[in-house]
Structure 1
C-alpha cells in the first residue's frame, strides 16, 4: 500500500480540483491510502463520496481564505510529518510552490512530487501579479520531480516565460485524464433538468470563460432558433455584470445563470448542444465531460490541442459571429457518428492511461 498526498486550495470542483479528485479516486481504487489537505475550511462537501472508495483522510484549515489558512494548514501537515509519501500531487501554482517550500524545509517527505500546470499565466497576467507568480515558481518548483503540462503549447509558453525551469525539473506533456468509470456511475435523472430545448455551457463566471461573448452571440442565435434557451452552469464574481448584460439584451427568459449544480452531466446529456466559449484555458476539462455525454460540441480554440480533437466544431476566440456559425453548423448537421469518435478519444485519456504515461516518465527520470 502506498501513501498519497493531494493538496488542494478548497473542496469546490473546478477543472484543476476535479483532476486532483480523479487522481485520488484512482489511488483509492488501487487500495492506496490518500491524504487530502485543503487550504480552506470545508465549503462544498464535493469530495465526501471518496470515503466510499477506501482509506482517505481529509484535513481542512479553519479559514475561509487560503492566505489566512496557511497557519492551520501547516499544523495539519505537521500531523502527517512522519509519513514519507510515495506520491504528492498538486495542480495550482500557489499550492505547488507551498508544498515545494515545505519539502525544502523537511516538513514534508516524499519519493515523488508531481505538479500540474492548470493555466497559462503568461497570457492571463502581467505587471506586479505576474512578478509575484514568477517568484512563487522560484520558491517551490525546484522540489518537483515531474511537472505535467496539459499541452505542448502550455509547455512551450512555460519555458519561454521561465527559461530556467527546464534545468530544475522534468517538464512533460500528458493530456488531461477523464474518470470514465465515475461518470458511468452518476445516476441519470428521470426528470428534465430544463423545461425547454437548450444550449449549455459550464464554468466559473469569470472573464476568461467568455460568457459575455456567448451571450451576445446567443442574442443572434435565438432569432434563428427561438425554441432554444441558453443555460450557463457555474458561479463567480462576474454574475452581476452578466445579469445586467442579459437584461440589456432582453434575454431574461432565455438565458439562465443556473449557478452551481451537483450533476452537470445531466445538463450536458439533455442539451441540444454544448459550448465552450473561453478566451484562454490551460485545457478545458469541461470539454471532455461534454464529449462523454453529447455528440454536439462547439469550442473556441482557447487552448492548444482542441483543434486536434475529432468531431469538435472549433471556432475563433473572442468572436460572437464565429460562435453563432459554429452553433448553426452543429444544429444543421448529423453528428451521430461523433458518439464513436468521442468514445475512442476519451478512452485514450482514461485515468489508467494517464497513470501509465506518468509512470513511464518517472522511470525515465
Structure 2
C-alpha cells in the first residue's frame, strides 16, 4: 500500500505526533509512506528513515498583516502546485490529510481533477471554533472526501447532521508509551499539575482561581503548570497579585512531561475547547487522577466517568472545579481507584490497536474506490 500523508507542517503538536506515529508504524509493517508538508521538511517528532519526508517550503513569515496576507496567498498557490506535483509523481493508493487547510486542499483538488484518489481527511479540532466563512466551507467540502475521521462521537454527529450521507469514522489518538509513565507510584506528592500551551484556549485562569479558593485549607499543596505561550506574563502577574508565586509555578516546556509529574496527586485540564487532548490522555494513562472541563468535542465525557477515574466539570465553572479538587486530594482511596482505572487506558488506546483501525479504514476505502471504478 502506497500512502501519501499531507499536513501543513510538522512542529510539536497533537496532530503532528499522531501522523508521525502512524507513518512510522505503517512503514514498519512493510507499507510505503511519503509524508509531505506544505512548509519545510522539519519534524519535531522522530520519523523512521523509511518514511519519505518532503517539504514544499510554502510559508508566510511576515508579522505585517498586509504583507502576510500577500505571502499567504502566494504560499497557498505554491502549496497547491507542490501537492499536485507530488500526487502525479508518487501516484498513491490513498491520501491521508490532517488539519483544516490541507484537508480543504486535498478534497477540492480531488474534486476538480480528472484523476481521482481515495481521500481520507481527519478533523483534529472542534470544527465549530472557526470563522463562519470557514465553517460553511468545511461543511460543504469535507463530505466530498471518501471518509472524515473524527476523534469523538460528538464531532462525528456534527458532520452527519450537516450531511447525513457523509462517510465518517471515529478513531481516537493512540497513547505513545514513550511519553507516559509506566512505573507504579508508591507515594504521591502534594502536587496539582497541568500542561499545555499558555493561551486563552487553555483557560489557566480557571485553575489559578479554583486553587486560590482552597489553598488556605491545603497549605502544603502546590500547582505546577508546564508549557509556554503568549499568556505567560499575564498569568504570572495574576499569580503574583494573589500572593501565590511560591505555590503556583510555571515550569516551561518539558519533554515527555508525564514521566516527570506522574507522582502528583492530580492532573487538571481547564480548557474552554479542545479537539482530542493528548496531554489529558497521557496523564490518565500515566495513572494520574484527573479533572477536565466538559469541552464541546465531548472527548472528556467519553474518557472520564465521574468518581471512577476522574471528574468532568462544566467549562469555566470555578466552584465545581474547586469542589472536585477537594474531593480527590482529600481522599486517598479515591486517588488509588482513579489511578488504577486510568492505567487501563494504555491497552484501550494502545498504538497497535489504533493503527489497526487506520489500516482497516485505508483498505476498506481503497477497495470501495476500486469497486466504484470497476462499475
TM-score by length of 1: 0.81
Task: Give 2:155's aligned residue.
Answer: 154
Task: Give 1:336's aligned residue.
Answer: 336
Give the superposition deviation at 1:250. Answer: 2.4
The match for 2:168 among 161, 167, 171 is 171
Aligned length: 342
The match for 1:96 among 92, 95, 103 is 103
The match for 1:116 among 103, 122, 134 is 122
Aligned-partner SS, 1:287: helix
Does 2:231 correspond to 1:229?
Answer: no
Task: Give 2:31's aligned residue.
Answer: 32
CA offsets per residue over residues 32-91 of structure 1, 9 Å max, x none? 332222233467x412x2235x33324252535593543443454325532122332223
The match for 2:199 among 198, 206, 213 is 206
Compared CA separation, residues 121 and 240, structure 1 to 2 (3 A): farther
Give the superposition deviation at 1:147. Answer: 0.7
Could you tell me how far apart the structure 2 residues matched to 1:152 and 1:79 are?
A: 33
Give 1:128-277 correspondences, 5 Å limit. Answer: 129-138=131-140, 140-160=141-161, 163=162, 165-167=163-165, 169-180=166-177, 182-183=178-179, 197-277=190-270
CA contact 1:81–1:108 (8 Å) conserved in 2: no
CA contact 2:58–2:76 (8 Å) conserved in 1: no
Give the superposition deviation at 1:96. Answer: 0.5
Could you tell me how far apart the structure 2 residues matched to 1:36 and 1:361 are?
A: 18
Give the superposition deviation at 1:318. Answer: 0.6
Instruction: In structure 2, list runs of 5 or more residues that go unmatched.
Output: 62-70, 184-188, 369-375
Could you tell me how far apart the structure 2 residues matched to 1:50 and 1:204 are?
A: 24
Aligned-partner SS, 2:47: helix
Instruction: In structure 1, list runs of 5 or more residues that go unmatched.
Output: 189-195
Compared CA separation, residues 255 and 326, structure 1 to 2 (3 A): same
Q: Which 4+ residue blocks in structure 1 deviate beyond 6 angstroms?
A: none
Task: Give 1:193's aligned residue.
Answer: none
Greater shift, 210-219 or 305-314, is seen at 305-314
Structure showing greater radius of gyration is 2
CA contact 1:300–1:315 (8 Å) conserved in 2: yes
Two-structure CA RMSD over aligned residues (Å): 3.1
